[in-house]
Structure 1
Amino acid sequence: MIAKNMNNQPFVSIIIPCRNEGKFIVACIESILENDYPKDRMEIFVIDGMSTDHTRETVRRFVKRYPFIFLLDNQHKHTAAALNMGIKKSTGSVIMRLDAHTTYTAEYISKCVYYLQKYNADNVGGVIKTIPGSSTVIGKSIAIALAHSFGIGNSKFRTGIKNYREADTVPFGCFKREVFNNIGLFNKNLHRSQDMEFNLRLKKSGGKILLFGDISANYYADKTLLSFIKHNFQNGIWATYPLKFTKQTLSARHYIPCLFVSAILLTLILSMFSAVFKIILLIILALYFTLLIPTAVQISVKQKKPVFILTMPIIFSSLHISYGLGSILGLIKILLDTWNQENNKNSSTMIS
Structure 2
Amino acid sequence: MENYPFISVIVPIKNFERTIEKSFQYLFNVDYPHDRWEIIIADGGSTDKTVEIIKEWQKKYPFIKLVEIPDCPSPGYARNKAIQSVKGDFIFFTDADCAPCKDWIKIMLDHFKRDPKIAAVGGEVYTLKVDPDNLVEAWCQHFRFNMVSPRYGFIKEG
What TM-score, normalized to structure 1? 0.40
Equivalent of 2:41 in 43, 46, 51: 46
Q: Structure 2: 5+ residue runs without aligned partners?
A: none
* Cα shift at 1:140: 7.7
Residue pairs, 1:7-46, within 5 angstroms: 7-46=2-41
Q: Which position in structure 2 is the counterpart of 1:231?
A: none
- In the aligned structure 2, how far is the partner of 1:15 from the partner of 1:105? 16
- Pairing 1:146-165 to 2, within 5 Å after superposition: 147=143, 158=145
The reply to whether residue 100 of structure 1 matches residue 54 of structure 2 is: no
Choose from 132, 135, 147 the match for 1:135.
132
Paired AA for residue 109 in structure 1? I
CA shift, 1:55, in A, is 0.3
2:57 equivalent in structure 1: 62
Amino acid at match of 2:120: N
Instruction: Report the count of equivalent residues.
Output: 155
Q: Residues 48 and 56 of structure 1 are in contact (CA less than 8 Å); yes or no, is this contact kept in structure 2?
A: yes
What letter matches 1:23 in structure 2? Answer: R
Deviations 1:184-236 (A, max 9, x none): xxxxxxxxxxx4335798xxxxxxxxxxxxxxxxxxxxxxxxxxxxxxxxxxx
Paired residue secondary structure (1:67): coil
Deviation at 1:117, TM superposition (A): 2.2
| Structure with the greater alpha carbon radius of gyration | 1
TM-score of the superposition, structure 2-length normalised? 0.83
Separation in 2, partners of 1:119, 1:25: 34
Within 2, Cα distance between the matches of 1:198 and 1:31? 30
Shift of 1:76: 3.6
- Residues 1-352 of structure 1 aligned to structure 2 (within 5 Å): 6-77=1-72, 78-120=74-116, 121-129=118-126, 134-136=131-133, 139=135, 143=139, 147=143, 158=145, 170-171=146-147, 195-198=149-152
Q: CA 1:70–1:117 in 2, change beyond 3 Å: closer, same or farther?
A: same
Superposed CA RMSD in Å reads 2.8
Tell me which residue corresponds to 1:234: none
Secondary structure, aligned partner of 2:84: helix
Shift of 1:142: 5.8
Q: Deviations over 1:100-121 (max 9, x none)?
A: 1111111111211122322332
The answer to whether the 8 A contact 2:128-2:137 is kept is: no
